[in-house]
Structure 1
Amino acid sequence: MKSEILQQIKQYETIILHRHVRPDPDAYGSQMGLAEIIRASFPEKKVYSVGNDEVSLQFLGVVDEVADETYKDALVIVCDTANQERVSDGRFNQGKALIKIDHHPNDDAYGDLLWVDTTASSCSEMIVAFWEAFSEELILNETAARLLYAGIVGDTGRFLYPSTTEETLRLSAHLVTFPFDRPALYRELYELPKNTVKLSGYILQNFVMDENGAATVYLSDTLLNEFEVNPRDASALVSCIENVEGIKAWIMFIQEGPVFRARLRSKGPVINELAKEYGGGGHPLASGATLHNEEEIKEMTAKLQLICAAK
């Protein structure tokens, strides 16, 4: 499949890369990292990265403005996006050909070519593997290495999550041979505004956990306004209770206008099937969903408790 993708890249003069809405470092890293590899390797090609801009991640890169007509004869590559509903910029299906590169469960097998590897820690890891497979033809430069390293670090929790494998570390070793400032990158990835840090104190004092290690946190619009924290920054705190003794899995419910974003995390029990019940999805130990009322919050909480009780 990697060979077929490379042949498609060689064939097209215009290549447009997409990723998912509400992007994280892996979405930016894989999308823009691959774009940079293509740009460096084939300087005659027109290569664009598109999607909704995320202010908190602009230190990684800024998206391009692309006119509709640019898609007419373009190759479109979507990175790190499990289903079509989550692709940022709905024009992704208006190109000449479509490629999906992803590491989430392949519940929505869209695209003309699909490369899905659920054993990879991140889509950024897959892009490094792609470069390595064709390193005699493809150029990995410092800009791409920094982007891909940020993506891997983000999705592995600084190499702490179980998704980190020997292959993850081996491929990451290629990236750290470049002289980008890793301490500065870590600071940019993990520094939090003072108000967000104060909100983490509230979470640590107010999370609820049952006897089976199922925990929940509820952050209302009113509370977020009180702390002057937006839902995006609040989501960055989803792992702040992961080191609580006895915790198995947890959900952070964050109100965002009329809906509630459910951020699910686990230290063992599989929780992505629970997320799917509410139109979401993700990895077995890290998933998300959107709920529409407090009754659904109660239902999801009860189901998480049953999942943890069975483990």
Structure 2
Amino acid sequence: MKQQIIEKIKQYDTIIIHRHVRPDPDAYGSQHGLKTLIQANFPNKNVYAVGQHDDSLTFMAIPDTVDDETYKGALVIVTDTANTDRVDDQRYTNGDFLIKIDHHPNDDQYGDMLWVDTTSSSCSEMIYELFEAARELEGWVLSDRSASLLFSGIVGDTGRFMFPSTTLKTFRTAGDLVEYNFDRNEIFNGMYEMDRKLLNLQGYLYQNFEIDELGAAYVRLSKEVLAQFDATASEASLLVSSLGNVKGITAWVIFIEEGESIRVRLRSKGPIINTLAKEFNGGGHPLASGATAYSWEEADRVIARLQEVVRDYKQQ
């Protein structure tokens, strides 16, 4: 499949790369890493990375803006996005040919060509694997800029190599990437430094989460709470892993109210939670998933289901 993707990239003069809404470092890393990889090897091609910008990821890249006309006759590639509903910028279907590159469960098999590898730690790791194949077949090179982006994406999706998705291949890929010339400290600072207001919000989160006797935990961040700390929903999402540091928690959910909906951020230390996320307009990885609720009553149902999932896990 990698060779087929390489051939498609060679065929098109215009390539537009999409990723998922509410992006994380792997979304930006795989998308912009692929963009800069193609540009380094085909400087005459027009390559764009599109989608709504997240200010917290400015340290990585800033998306491009393209008009509708640009999609005519273009190759479109969507990275790190399991479901069509989550593709940022729904014009992704307006190109000539569509490729999906992803590491989430392949529940939504969209695209004219699909490369899905659920064993990969991140989509950024897959882009590096694509580069390795292209280097062997076509003599492609990887720029320092691409290496920096792919490394950032891998670090983000593996939780600094702490998540179970981290494999020997992941470490080997990271080892290859750090041989390039980029500043790892700059990446870590951009990814993990927080404004004081977010540290205060994190304190609120630690003081107000609830946990049952089996280790199912939750916390609600309403619009009023976010306003109290002058934080946006996107900024609050950066705190999703915080409860993982609490001894005794088995799985947890953070609810973040935004507009007329509520972001549902699920994490787990063992129980499979992506099936639960699918019940509430979402999906994701077995131990890290997201969903959407449309009322606090629906959020209560998410909590009840999470408690059931943890209970079943404990009884195995």
Find 1:178's aligned residue among 177, 180, 202: 180
User: Does residue 278 of the first structure (1) align with residue 300 of the second (2)?
Assistant: no
- Matched residues in 2 for 1:80 and 1:183: separation? 25
4+ runs of 1 displaced by more than 6 Å?
A: none
The reply to whether residue 118 of structure 1 matches residue 118 of structure 2 is yes
Q: Which residue of structure 2 aligns with residue 236 of structure 1?
A: 238
Calculate the aligned-residue CA RMSD, in Å: 0.8
Secondary structure class of the residue paired with 1:159: coil
Match status 1:305 vs 2:311: no
Structure 1 gaps, min length 5: none
Residue 135 (structure 1) aligned with residue 143 (structure 2): no
User: Following the alignment from structure 2 to structure 1, what is the Cα–Cα distance between the partners of residues 175 and 127?
Assistant: 14
Aligned to 2:77: 77
Deviations 1:187-241 (A, max 9, x none): 0111111001011111111111101110001111111111111111111111111
Structure 1 residue 256 displacement after superposition: 0.8
Task: State the distance in 1 between where 2:28 and 2:190 align.
Answer: 14
Q: Which residue of 2 aligns with 1:144?
A: 146
Alignment correspondent of 2:193: 191
What is the rounded CA distance, in whole Å, between the counterparts of 2:275 and 2:77 in structure 1? 27
Range moving further from structure 2, 182-191 or 237-246? 237-246
The Cα shift of 1:164 comes to 0.4
CA distance in 2, matches of 1:74, 1:42: 15
Distance of 1:261 and 1:157 partners within structure 2: 20
The 1-side partners of 2:269 and 2:288 are apart by: 9
Instruction: Determine helix, strand or coil for the equivalent of 1:241.
Output: helix
Aligned residue identity for 2:247 = E
Which residue of the partner structure matches residue 47 of structure 1? Answer: 47
SS at match of 1:212: coil
1:224 aligned to 2:257?
A: no
Number of residue-to-residue matches in the alignment: 311
Letter of the 2:16 counterpart: I
What is the CA distance between 1:155 and its match in structure 2?
Answer: 0.3
**What CA distance in whole angstroms lies between the structure 2 residues aligned with 1:275 and 1:207?**
20
2: CA distance, partners of 1:166 / 1:289 = 30
Letter in 1 for 2:168: E
Counterpart of 2:98, as a letter, is L
Aligned to 2:19: 19
2: distance between equivalents of 1:139 and 1:65?
Answer: 26
User: Could you tell me which residue of structure 1 aligns to residue 35 of structure 2?
Assistant: 35
SS at match of 1:34: helix
Residue identity opposite 2:119 in structure 1: T
Output the CA distance in 1 between the equivalents of 2:252 and 2:117. Answer: 26
User: Partners of 2:36 and 2:104 in 1: how far apart?
Assistant: 23
Residue type of the alignment partner of 1:208 = E
* Counterpart in the other structure of 2:66: 66
| Structure 2: distance between partners of 1:15 and 1:257 | 34
Q: How many angstroms does 1:182 deviate by?
A: 0.3
User: What amino acid does structure 2 have at the position aligned with 1:43?
Assistant: P
1:99, distance to aligned residue in structure 2 (A): 0.1
CA distance in 2, matches of 1:243, 1:255: 23
Q: 3-state DSSP class of the match of 1:303?
A: helix
Output the TM-score relative to the length of structure 1: 0.98
Letter in 2 for 1:253: F
Match of 1:6 in 2: 6
Partners of 1:64 and 1:205 in 2: how far apart?
40
Amino acid at match of 1:187: N
Residue type matched to 2:165 in 1? S
Deviation of 1:134 (Å): 2.0
1:202 & 1:64 partners in 2: Cα distance? 36
Paired AA for residue 36 in structure 2: E
- Which amino acid in 1 is paired with 2:227? N
Alignment match, 1:159 = 161
Per-residue CA deviation, residues 255-306 of structure 1 (Å, 9 max, x unaligned), is 1122111100000000001100011000000001110111111111011111
What is residue 98 of structure 1 aligned with on the other side? 98
Distance in structure 1 (CA, Å) of the matches to 2:144 and 2:100: 25
Cα distance in 2 for residues equivalent to 1:255 and 1:46:
38
Give the whole-Å Cα distance in 1 for the aligned partners of 2:35 and 2:186: 23
Tell me the distance in 2 between the aligned counterparts of 1:196 and 1:83.
30
Distance 1:237 1:286 in 2: 13
Q: Helix, strand or coil: the match of 2:244?
A: coil
Quote how far apart the aligned CAs of 1:42 are: 1.1
